[in-house]
Structure formats: structure tokens, C-alpha cells
Amino acid sequence: MKRRQFLKSTSALLGGTLLSSVALPALAQAEPVKGGTLIWGHSETTQNLDMHQTGTASTGRVLQNVHDSIVTVDKDLNVIPNLAESYEISDDGTVYTFKLRDDVMFHNGKKMTSEDVKYSFERCKDPATGAVNFEVFNNVTGIETPDDTTVVVTLDKVNAPFIFRLAENGAGVVMPAGSGDEQGNTPIGCGPFKFVRREFGNEVELERFDDYWDGPAYLDKVIAREITEPTVRLTGLRTGELHMINDIPADRITEIEAEEGLQVVSWFPLNWDFVNFNHDFEPFKDPKVREAFDYMIDKEALLEGALWGQGKVTASPSYPTSASYNHDLKQRPQDIEKAKALLAEAGYGPGELSVVFKATTNYPYHIEAAQIMLEWFRMAGVDATIEQLTWSDWLSQVWVDKDFQISMMNFFTLWEPDFLYYSMWNTEGAFNYRKISHPKVDELTAKARVTTDPQARAEVYKEVQKIVHDETLDVLLWFRNGTIGAQPAVQGLDTIVHPNGSNLNFHKVWLQN
């Protein structure tokens, strides 16, 4: 199979972020100038700063500016060279040869070589590292470095999404050889900004890296202030304390768009949200109970109540423009009586089932959504309570310890179908914190990896979606819009949103004097 055929077959599955609107003041666009510190009101808090280990989009959104990956994607999510100036795939799809750029410098002053790529890939593959993308390298049997600018990766069998997974700034990120122990607290990369400091739960400071291979950034510094409270974030923008914020409060977007002197960038989608069941919790082992909870939820009403309609309901988590999106699936309508009947069939009469809904204050709209859903649960005869957790506590209890009954989460950047379906629903998936183990899903997600025909592969993922829906492994809710608000002085906002719809790249952003 030729490289061009391989790329054609896989890229046909994907679609890019849909930019819905850019409301910018009519300012004269001068040439970019260097200098200045941009203060960004970041809507979430960062966690572990090790790009291999972190599973949170909030941290990745910052580290996107510190690290670069061996390949990346263009605006249409086609894979293009990055730290590798070129790459070739063997006819049988099992050997990947990367020719590296010879002008890439790390923030510690070391020049990047093939040794660093080998180290980074082997570190991600090693189970002891605890990398969230370890399974990307499951089929890798050898990594050779014939010279300083050549890396040859050999797989034991075809893995159709392999090159796309390397385009993520997790699996494909290149770190200096031997730097693993430092990455969690002092990340070292070769991106446009170098890490300076972090005050946990408060702010992260990045500084321009003048030796960046793709040309230095315009900004001297970016300071990401972690402000999870939406109204505080918005007030900071309006008073000028903040240059820009992400996640404008959903109920204020129309107001801010009409406000003279502020810029608004909106796009769709930013992420998707779903309700999670712990499949080890006895009641949720029964698909009838899970289905009953699905019938309790009015998805359109929830979208309006928690997000002020800033999104679109969906029965599939696939990118809206992806060929793998299963348009045949329809969300279950709210039917409280049907929910009661299903619970009765499962052996739970009124008041006989109790659940605790764990939601994180890191996403205030999750708290609002949980409060709305609890009223519906109670209408169906379920004794339901809510437990509000900080982001760190949610990650510890729900993500790591899997100590929960029912919860809610959103996921970003899962634009690649393998990353989405294998990570989320395969028994061994890195993001399968719900303890889902479904043999047919495991079989299908493994089958997709060796299916190179684009339409056939898309059909496999449609089968996975149907199982997730029909057996209510989770309850898909909606895609959420993304928004940025900014002061007039912030320029280059048309370059800031990564094609995956989640990450923010400050390389070409500048401040007008």
C-alpha cells in the first residue's frame, strides 16, 4: 500500500472544526509586533504537567505551546510533517521512516536528534510511565536510529490510525532524552514557549523561546490565570485585568457579542458531554437500569437549562463532519413512565434505588446539569443526591480510583476515531474509567485498527456507536460550542484555535500597541 493511498484512506474519515463566527472590531490590522505579556483567563486548572501522563485537556491546552509533535494536522485534519520534515510508510503499512528537521532546539539548549524521538516513543510505550496514550505503540516492535536525523519505526501488523495518533501532542510529542523525571513539574519541550513557573491552582507562566524552529513567537510571555468561576473570568476581561478568556459564560455570549470594544470568537464543536455509569456498581450492571436513566433525561431541555442552547444535542460522539458519525442513531426522548417501568423490571420500585451523582466544579455547567437531572431522577422514583468535587478530587475519585456511581464529563480533541472509540470504550482503553468491558466493542475497536479501507473502517465505528447507544453504556448529551473573548489589542485570533477545536496556540498571537 503506497503512502498516498494510505493517507487518502485514513484522512477520508475525518473533518475539521467548524468555525461558526468571528465577531471582531473593525481595527486597522498593522504588521505584527513583538513584545508584551498576554494575560489569559483560563477556564480550568492544570494538573500533572507531564505531556505523556496528563489526561486532561485543561493541561494539554497550556502544554500545546511548550511541546511539538513529530507530525501534526492541517485545518482539515490531514496529517502533515512537523518535527519530521518528511515521512514515508512502507507498501505493507508496517514500517514508518521519519526524516527529522536538523534545526530543532529544546528549551534546555540541546539539539533534537533521533535519540530523543526514540526515547520519547519508548517512554510513552513503557507501562511504567503511565502514559495515557501507551496503546498507540502496542504494535511497535522496533525503533531504529540509523543516523541523527532518521527514525525507523516497525510495527508487527498494520495499524491504520498510527500516523494520526502521532499527530496528537501526547503520543507524538518529542522530549529531550532522559528528561522524563522532570516533565511533571518542569516540562521541557521544543515548542514556541518555554515553561517558567506554575503556582498550582493559580497560574502558569510561559516565556517566548527565541530559538523555536518555526520562528519565534511575537509575545514575550503568556500567563494563564486559572479562573474556573465564569463571572469572575468575564469581569476580568471587562475591566482589562485579562487580555482574553476562553469559555465565555453561556448565558452572556449574546450580550458580549453586542458589546462594543470586545472581540468574540466562536466555533463548533469544542467538546462533547455525556453521563457516565460505573459498570461495577450493581444496579448499573443491568442495561435496563442504564436505559431507564437515559429515559429520565430531556436532552434538549438540559442543553437549554445548563448551556443556554450553546451547542447541539447528539447521539454520537464522532466529529460532526466525520464519515464515522452514525446519523441513524436517535436520542431517547424523556419518558418518566417508561423509566419507572424499566426500573421495576430490574427489581427497583419507587425509592428502592439510591445514587450519588459526582460532578466537578471545574465545569460549573456540569453542576447545573446535575442539579436539573437529579429532579428528573427523583420524579422517576430514584433517591438521588449530588456531591460537588474540585477538579483534583474528581480526577482522584472518579478517573483514578473509579470510586463513583454516576457522573458527567466532557472530552476534547478526540477527533481521530481510534483515539475516540478505543480509548473510551475498549476494555483496555486509557480513558475507560467507567469499567466498561464489552467483548463486541473490544473486537470492533481492534478490527478498525487493521481496516485501511475508509468506508469499511467508518462502518466499524458506526457499529461501536450503535452498541454504546443500544446498551446505554453511557448517555451522550451534546456537542458544546467554543468561545473566546478578547480585548481589542489582541491580534492573530484567527490562528489561535487548533484544528482539534480544543487546544489554543499562541505562536502567532500578538498585542497591538
- Indicate if the pLDDT at residue 3 is higher than 90: no
Architecture of domain 68-183: Alpha-Beta Complex (3.90)
Of 428, 419, 461, residue with least CA distance to 444 = 461
Average pLDDT, the chain: 93
Confidence of residue 413 (pLDDT cuts 50, 70, 90): low
Confidence of residue 29 (pLDDT cuts 50, 70, 90): low
Length of the chain: 513
Spell out the domain ranges in the chain: 31-66+191-262+487-513, 68-183, 269-480
Kindly report the number of other CB atoms within 10 A of residue 479's CB atom: 24
93-96: long-range contacts at Cβ-Cβ below 8 A with a sequence spacing of 24 or more? Answer: 93/1, 93/6, 93/155, 93/158, 93/159, 93/160, 93/452, 94/154, 94/155, 94/156, 94/157, 94/158, 95/152, 95/153, 95/154, 95/155, 96/152, 96/153, 96/154, 96/155, 96/162, 96/163
The runs of H, that is alpha helices, within 68-198 are 114-125, 162-165, 180-183
Q: What are the residues whose beta carbons fall under 8 Å from the beta carbon of 224, sequence distance 6 or more?
A: 40, 42, 46, 62, 203, 204, 205, 206
Confidence of residue 265 (pLDDT cuts 50, 70, 90): very high
- CATH topology assigned to domain 269-480: Dipeptide-binding Protein; domain 3 (3.10.105)
Of 363, 356, 385, 257, residue with least CA distance to 306 = 363
CA atoms within 13 A on the CB side of 72: 18
Architecture of domain 31-66+191-262+487-513: 3-Layer(aba) Sandwich (3.40)
At 483 the three-state DSSP class reads strand
Q: Please state the rounded mean pLDDT for residues 165-193.
A: 95
| Amino acid letter for position 27 | L
Over the stretch 58-109, which tens digit does the pLDDT of each residue have? 899 999 999 999 999 998 889 999 999 999 999 999 999 999 999 999 999 9
Confidence of residue 16 (pLDDT cuts 50, 70, 90): very low
Of 32, 225, 168, residue with least CA distance to 498 = 168
Of 434, 432, 402, 427, residue with least CA distance to 414 = 432
Cell of 113: 536528534
3-state secondary structure 319-377: CCCCCCCCCCCCCCCCCHHHHHHHHHHCCCCCCCEEEEEEEECCCHHHHHHHHHHHHHH
- Indicate if the pLDDT at residue 26 is higher than 60: no
**CA–CA distance, 475 with 294 (Å, rounded to integer):** 6
Burial 412-428 (b: 16+ CB within 10 A, else e): bbbbbbbbbbbbbbbee
List the helix and strand counts (H, then E) for the chain. 15, 20
Confidence of residue 57 (pLDDT cuts 50, 70, 90): confident
Contact 114, 151 (CB under 8 A): yes
Q: How far does CA 369 lie from the centroid of its chain?
A: 20
Confidence of residue 337 (pLDDT cuts 50, 70, 90): very high
Amino acid 41: pLDDT: 98
Confidence of residue 5 (pLDDT cuts 50, 70, 90): very low
What's this model's pTM, rounded to 2 decimal places? 0.88
